[in-house]
Chain A
């Protein structure tokens, strides 16, 4: 399908005041500053990193820090510190700047390895991950049952066909006489 147009296709569909809409125009700002979103410019950054910093949160676990800043921020999250093979990869990734693929692609790899590590950790703690529950497939059954049944039927047909094709067939006995 092409996108060819005719001159008659063009029209100027513009709206006007919408007094039927509660609050129409109440925040209109004819002087909306083109430098927005910096609404309250102070140029304080000209002085550099000199502001009075908030109290520093204690580093009680390993926190990876961007090479683009000199210190840890005053507060930081303490969820899931780096560990295992994924942690080794994350530490390597953080040696690169935020503008480098050397940082982000290894982090994606580490995330995928972390998934496997998570399953191993579950098993080590005697927990078998309930993948069906974790993927929320109960909701699929509840709200999209027809599609689930269709997929199940299609899978059954394909499986049956595959088994039928791949199963070794009995060789016919050769008749010698």
Chain B
């Protein structure tokens, strides 16, 4: 079958001879992929920043598909069902899943206890092949995978596998109260969605900060928020203080993670020399901007090793930090309702639809931010007919 094949940093190719996936567990299903996205966090793998990313693996943790084959214990879905597959692999029975922490499952990743299993996200996240392929193996089919409602567009459905819940949870973790000022660092798909969702929690002012004007323009239009380019802003922390009467925003969201730019030493240490778990520039700004007693919500992805952050300011300001991988299954019912009522229109964020065969160009475009790309979706050959 056709699948993305990772060959090393900045190198991927379409592999036309990848073996068809097999049922490995009674609760597995095999899906024929209909839509699959390249996520901003896939770029961390693509750029060689995530340890234990092995040559030959297929990436892709955002996908939808039609069930082709089911394991003997599968009850919730059947052959022919069109399902959306949340990016986290969750057993539904461990103590963490039972408490709604589906992104922290204890029965899906033998290779690291800090992280639940994630499709196509290195061996640090369980060593699963992902959905940037014609077919994919989906474990625990009775738990998180969800049948796509008849009325829902597939492009909306694929955005529900990660982008929408992660953006929504970023805002939710911010504990936003009515009238709050929310600063969001990063105008990628997650930051834009976090801005959009901040309004649902009653934010009074939402400001998105990034360095790419085309992304800021998109964010401004899509999420009806203020935008600022930090390249022309000077120090974003000073800007945040100036516009909040020196007190700081109530909530700051880090929607960038390990590849933040804006600080030479952080870029050098975290992105070039790989001596820390990524560049923490956005997190620095979030911690130093937020008001005393405020909340910093982190959904940006960082590597597993130590990272330099101004922890002294966290203590001195009494900041609460909330962070996690999105608990997609927990959030899905609410988010499906938001799409049904038109409160959220995630497919409008998709700017590029590419054939799966053009995977290498897709990664390069997204990595280099070519052609004003916001969100690329890959479509396998059989889904284009």
Contact = CB atoms under 8 A, between A and B. Distances in A.
A95 B364 CA distance: 36
Interface in A9-58: 9-18, 20-30, 32, 34, 36-42, 44-45, 49, 51-55, 57-58
A40 B304 CA distance: 27
Interface string A119-156: 00000000001110111111110111000000000000
Nearest to A67: B113
Contact of A107 (B27, B52, B139, B169): B52
Contact of A51 (B94, B113, B245): B94
A74 interface: yes
B110 A16 contact: no
B360 A135 contact: yes
Contact of A134 (B13, B93, B169): B13
Nearest to B330: A39
Contacts of A53: 93-94, 107
Interface string B49-91: 0011111111000000000000001000000000000000101
A64 interface: yes
A143 B108 CA distance: 40
B202 A3 contact: no
Contacts of B113: 66, 68-69, 98
On chain B, which size bracket covers the interface?
Answer: 35 or more
B269 interface: no
Contact of A108 (B51, B99, B322): B51
B177 interface: yes
Nearest to A29: B201
Contact of B114 (A32, A75, A98): A98
A9 B242 CA distance: 6
Interface residues of A, number: 91
A71 to B, nearest CB: 8
Interface string B108-137: 111111100100000110111100000000
Contacts of A64: 110-111, 123
B140 interface: yes
Contact of A74 (B95, B107, B179, B327): B107
Most buried by B among A29, A51, A80, A131: A80
A15 B179 contact: yes
Contacts of A114: 8, 54-55
Contacts of B360: 133-136, 138-139
A26 B235 contact: no
A80 B7 contact: no
A80 B204 contact: no
B178 interface: yes
Interface string B175-204: 111110100000000000000010111111
Contacts of A60: 24
B241 A10 contact: yes
A72 interface: yes
Given A15-B181, A16-B179, A75 B25 contact: yes
Nearest to A82: B54
A133 B13 contact: yes
Interface of A: 1, 3, 5, 9-18, 20-30, 32, 34, 36-42, 44-45, 49, 51-55, 57-58, 60, 63-66, 68-69, 71-80, 82, 86, 90, 94, 98, 101, 104-105, 107-108, 110-112, 114-115, 117-118, 129-131, 133-140, 142-144
10 contacts: A15-B206, A20-B224, A38-B101, A39-B100, A40-B99, A40-B100, A53-B93, A75-B117, A79-B56, A118-B8
